[in-house]
Amino acid sequence: MTGKDKIADLKATAEQMVAIGKGILAADESSGTIEKKFAKVGIACTEDSRRAYRELFFTTPGIGKYISGVILYDETIRQSASNGEKFVTILENTGVLPGIKVDQGLKEMEGSPNEKVTKGLEGLPERLKEYAGMGARFAKWRAVITIGDGLPTDSNIKQNVGILAEYARACQDAGIVPIVEPEVLMDGSHDISACRDASEMTLSAVFDALRSADVAIDGMILKTNMVIPAKECPKQATPEEIAEATLGLFRKVLPKELVGQAFLSGGQSELEATANLNAINKRGPFPWKMSFSYGRALQNSALKAWNGKAENVKSAQEIFIHRAEMNGLATMGKYSKDMEEE
């Protein structure tokens, strides 16, 4: 395959990932994160309970209607459902693209202990090759940027975007679409303009680094935060204000050739994440698709309803597919709050 054909393939996959009316389910929580989530609702965290949890989502009837792809975790991409069928095969059979988280979590940054850098570049090309052989069509790498006193530092942004670019390049070399995820955290009490400033510095640096590493911008998906006040900011914002601020920034920094941007939910409630995405898409069309790649905002209520019990699977699946449908509508600006069930 020529380089040109390879990019065309990556672009076709990227377009599928952000197809209109659909988005991505981020089901790639590490076993440690799942353990914390399960502990909150009193579910024991074992390989089997984690398998049952993933199976609930992946076997939800109609998932392929609203979900274009699922980000898996290393354990999950190797697992099978209770009927013995590989999760990857189950997803492929419903038209859902399997993806894989390839970063290996965060570590404290040297010289700035309140900031983090992402681990996992070592051995990455070999792991990508293995995952591609298992059916992974795209990958994810998350970098976090912290707002605080004197933060983010330029050196934290520089390190994180350099690593993101190296990861993205390795993915494209392996024929896998990289989801490039720089997340400005919602932790703390900063206001919307602090989020905008940090997001602008980060995204500008991300695209500079990607270009320097010769990453094909039309063969990747961006996954970033909305421009939004921190969780404890006394002045919260309306969906319209969030949409205005986010789009103002995106128009300035996102390249036109980018196929799509899939938001993370980052600590927004399920309803906020849907309403904000809808407000953004109401202002479209844009040069890029505006989709979702939610973890918590697609799974939290379903997890509570499931509560680790087989008899609750069906009602949990109904809750999940409803959220997926609402977010699918929000990718078209066609969602309204009165579509929520009581």
Q: Whose Cβ is closer to ligand 13P: residue 96's or residue 297's?
A: 297
Instruction: Choose which of 116, 142, 190, 289 interacts with ligand 13P (CB under 6 A).
Output: 142
Residues contacting residue 90 through CB under 8 Å, at least 6 positions apart: 58, 59, 81
Q: Is 323 in the site for ligand 13P (CB under 6 A)?
A: no
* Least distance between ligand 13P and beta carbon 264 (Å): 4
Does residue 181 carry a catalytic annotation?
A: yes
Residue nearest to ligand 13P (CB): 295
Work out the number of other CB atoms within 10 angstroms of the CB of residue 306.
25
CB 83 within 8 A of CB 93: no
Q: Please name the amino acid found at residue 61.
A: P
Least gap, CB of 268 to ligand 13P (angstroms): 8
* Active site (annotated) includes residue 119: no
Is residue 187 classed as helix, strand or coil in its secondary structure?
coil
Q: CA-to-CA distance for 238 and 329, rounded, in angstroms?
A: 19
Rounded-to-integer distance, Cα 115 and Cα 327, Å: 32
265 binds ligand 13P (CB under 6 A): yes
With CB under 6 A as the contact rule, the residue among 18, 254, 290, 297 that binds ligand 13P is 297
Residue 210 neighbours by CB distance under 10 Å: 23
- Among residues 11, 140, 223, 289, the one annotated as catalytic is 223
The total number of residues written for the chain in this structure: 342
> Is residue 178 within the footprint of ligand 13P (CB under 6 A)?
no
AA identity, residue 120: G
Pick the binder of ligand 13P from 222, 264, 316, 321 (CB under 6 A).
264
Site residues, ligand 13P (CB under 6 A): 26, 142, 181, 264-266, 293-297
Active site residues: 181, 223
